[in-house]
Structure 1
């Protein structure tokens, strides 16, 4: 018994081990489009799946549950250029995990559980441009040059909340980065000179909130190594006081020209103190983004005069006590700064008014962005000096007042008509709905954005000097304004059912008109534009006629270049093609050539009908139908009782043979002893009845049927009817009398039983010799007596 248990145990262990070591199939992902872009994100995958195509170029595996990267996971995808592994549980990567991805350009490993970084992972990634390592669990960066092999790297994102140290050799080999992002909110050790090994950087984003508050020297070392005159510095995620601003001094001392403070929370006094540190700096651009300021400002703080600042950028800034904030023109040290500014952006900051006194100081302003605020027609009048541009903003070239609360288009043109240098105006996402018939605009205006303004129509109020006009996402159905210099027109998202008349646009080169209820496009419409080179007209409402489908597939590409994908052109009709891409639509010959096809069909049907009629005539189909009808009638008629049979014979004959019947047959049979009673249609049929019914009734009441067969009999319609009706009882009741020889060729083939009777010689033949006739009559009488 013990041996048996041991055997069972060994067997189970063997099967379990076989199951454990046997390769299990990988999960599959087939969510790939025709451009070899595969989206396998958020699919609860626990390992890298098998992709449906080896030619995949972009693979998104983000937000799954992948824990490891094995050596063979990507070995088959040699063409892969983009790999997104963000938001998984990756804690280990084999040394050769990415070794086959020599064409990879983008690698995102952010928000995983990597607790160490290895330079061997990146050794084969010589084509990599973008690398994101944020949000992992590694505590150090350094020891070995991690990125030396990635000679084309332009974007590097490093750091996490667990990062504690950065060593000197980490960034050797990085020659030029367009963007460098470093997160070290809990960094405790930084070896000076580590970041300075990156030869040049266009933009740096640094988030080191913890060191700012606890380790001033470490923060200063980091900012010193990252600050260069050609580098834009973005300092992010700070909550600081006036006492923690010392590290900023190194930024200004190193000659940084462009600085942006993002997600900053501090008092007004802290900001003003920071501004005071900029004295003798070379700053040209100052920006605040997603910031929150609290407290009452102390305007007695010393403000330096910045000789080089020409750009001021503010986005989504919240003022806790905005009503306590003084106007800029009331701060005397800022007056000269305002007069030097060339670019001002106050975006998404709930700005609802700007005193014209402030605007008057902006004498050199060329660019102004007031988008996503709360300006109204009244407050904009105040800001723009009620249209007296000779007082303010006379140097402005670009003005953006989109997404505010403007309603009067007439006020708009009045305020801007005197801006003689204005080249671009964006008033999109306001609510105009209508516009006046006539307006005045500066002749310098080349770009006008009126998208999403709920316009129902446009008038000649539009500037005639425009080169680019954006009227997308309004409520327009027609556009007939003649703007001769227009080169680019945006009409997407309206209610156009066809293209505008090309004759109004002599120089138009680019037309965006997608997401409209189009019916079709034609060659003539495109050619009418003359200079049109780029078209974007994708929508799902096309009537896929044969003309349009053929034009789209074979001609449109030769006339213009489609800016959007051909996959966005979708059929809405006919019903069978609804939802089908126009490039995949297939129409039958009948749909494409309806008139010709209908004519051909009619001719075919006519030929078939004529052929059928000929075949029916040749095959005597009508006769067979009549035969069937006679058979049905015979079946339906009740069989005559014996007491109802009152004739010895019914005589069926042609009218042309009546003389023989009346002068010879009738006297001979009715004058016999005993006499035979004959039924003749001329004598015995009741007048007024249907002759076919009379014939069938007479046959039913007769013991025999005498068929007087001659050439006239065969040609007679009524004789044929009588023969047809009696066809079913011909052998029992029918007696054939041939008055003249009838060749077989003259008897219709459909009279098969008549032919059979004649071929078997079971008929009586009228003799030509007089001495033979008594025998004929006797034979006939004997046959009748047998009934």
Structure 2
């Protein structure tokens, strides 16, 4: 069709009231011609790729009376948000079967937009591909009970949408997104074909059981699957077909044997490669069915790995023993430092009034106060000592003082000198 601007577009649709199909794509329309409202028998309208259409709340006004309109194509029009379509989609009598809003620069489905489709109960095809959506509300299409095709490909989805479906979809297209596991794609409803190709799915375990009973065919081609484990195979067995083409399958490890044997003997599930019956290929350009690894080799490999692990542990134990013997003095010193540290921590949490009770001869008083006390009380550990000449309670019997302060002290330090031994008074006292 010749490209024309809205200013030059003639309002001539008044003369064609029986028109059923109208294609105005690839033009420079600035608004939807008002005369379209007279096309009461119009069934198909294509307005795609008209980038100049003004995004005003009333821009769909000419469409509100088109009760026979079933297919509306609005792709490549920069809508930016879905609320612009609310007046039209909520119009009495409007009942679409197909709605195309691909590449419309929609990045968010706001809370106010979740209900935008609730009046379109006859909608069967919804195309929202090539937008910038990172999240789809789980109840966005819940009210569309006849929906059969939902296209959400080429968006930026990074988490499973957990869609609530009141219909059984023929196709759910989530290709070209950022999904990492095929789990919780749908919460309710069933899907005949789920397209998850060109995502970021890798090997998974015990994650996708909630999906397996709802999907008949799964396309996970061109993802990042290197190994297909038993959990994945059990998951695939519940389906009619699985497309694994284009994944970097590693055929040089023993994990590929389960996939090879399943492919060779599976009768219920069709294993596809690019939607053909060809065997999936490995990253080394080998067909999975042609893998030559044998189970006895993998069993020997597993035994070798186990023996190697045990040998490594045994070697580490011997090495630790040798090192401890060779550095026994250093180890003893470290143990002593550790014990000192533990004692200090114990003292910090204890309820003793003194760290040590000092037992000494009166003749050694100078040594005790000028040497012992200076090193212990003024040293880095800041011990608190009990000294009879400083801490005993005046007027109390010496024996009572000794008994009381011994109970308040964590340790006892005895300064044994010739004075202490020869001093009959101290000997009788202590």
Partner of 1:471: 174
1:342 to 39, 43, 60: 43
What does the per-residue CA deviation read over 1:98-144, in whole Å, with 9 as the maximum and x for residues that have no partner?
xxxxxxxxxxxxxxxxxxxxxxxxxxxxxxxxxxxxxxxxxxxxxxx
Partner of 1:396: 96
Q: TM-score, normalised to structure 1's length?
A: 0.34
- Larger Cα-atom Rg: 1
Tell me the CA shift for residue 549 of structure 1: 4.9
Tell me the CA shift for residue 436 of structure 1: 3.9
Instruction: Tell me the distance in 1 between the aligned counterparts of 2:13 and 2:286.
Output: 69
Alignment of 1:37-56 (within 5 A): none
1:571 to 282, 285, 295: 282
1:361 to 49, 65, 70: 65
Partner of 2:87: 385
Q: 1:371 to 1:549 in 2, by over 3 A?
A: same
Instruction: Tell me the distance in 2 between the aligned counterparts of 1:433 and 1:594.
Output: 47
Q: Is the 8 A contact 1:315 1:349 kept in 2?
A: yes
Instruction: Tell me the distance in 2 between the aligned counterparts of 1:328 and 1:536.
Output: 46
What does the per-residue CA deviation read over 1:443-469, in whole Å, with 9 as the maximum and x for residues that have no partner?
232321111110111243543534131
Alignment of 1:410-449 (within 5 A): 410=110, 412-436=113-137, 439=140, 440-449=142-151
Instruction: Tell me the distance in 2 between the aligned counterparts of 1:392 and 1:438.
Output: 24
Q: 1:563 to 1:344 in 2, by over 3 A?
A: farther
CA RMSD of aligned residues (A): 3.4
Work out the number of aligned pairs and report it: 293
Q: 1:302 to 1:561 in 2, by over 3 A?
A: closer
Partner of 1:519: 226
Q: 1:529 to 1:507 in 2, by over 3 A?
A: farther
Q: 1:593 aligned to 2:299?
A: yes
What does the per-residue CA deviation read over 1:578-597, in whole Å, with 9 as the maximum and x for residues that have no partner?
44333333225664333587
Q: 1:562 aligned to 2:272?
A: yes
Q: TM-score, normalised to structure 2's length?
A: 0.59
Runs of 5+ unmatched residues, structure 2: 309-430
Partner of 2:374: none
Partner of 2:4: 293
Q: Is the 8 A contact 1:502 1:530 kept in 2?
A: no
Tell me the CA shift for residue 477 of structure 1: 1.3
Q: Is the 8 A contact 1:369 1:400 kept in 2?
A: yes
Q: 1:476 to 1:521 in 2, by over 3 A?
A: same
Larger RCO, structures 1/2 (Cα 8 Å, 6+ apart): 2
2:261 to 536, 551, 556: 551
Q: 1:533 to 1:523 in 2, by over 3 A?
A: farther
Instruction: Tell me the distance in 1 between the aligned counterparts of 2:153 and 2:231.
Output: 28
SS in 1 for 2:8: coil
Q: 1:509 aligned to 2:212?
A: no
Q: Is the 8 A contact 2:264 2:289 kept in 1?
A: no
Runs of 5+ unmatched residues, structure 1: 1-287, 573-577, 603-787
Alignment of 1:140-539 (within 5 A): 288=1, 291-293=2-4, 296-297=7-8, 299=10, 303-307=14-18, 309-317=19-27, 319=28, 322-323=29-30, 327-329=32-34, 331=35, 334-337=36-39, 339-350=40-51, 352=53, 353=55, 355-377=59-81, 380-385=82-87, 389-391=90-92, 393=94, 395-410=95-110, 412-436=113-137, 439=140, 440-467=142-169, 468-478=171-181, 479-480=183-184, 481-498=186-203, 501-522=208-229, 525-528=232-235, 532-539=239-246
Q: Is the 8 A contact 1:399 1:426 kept in 2?
A: yes
Instruction: Tell me the distance in 1 between the aligned counterparts of 2:122 and 2:3.
Output: 35
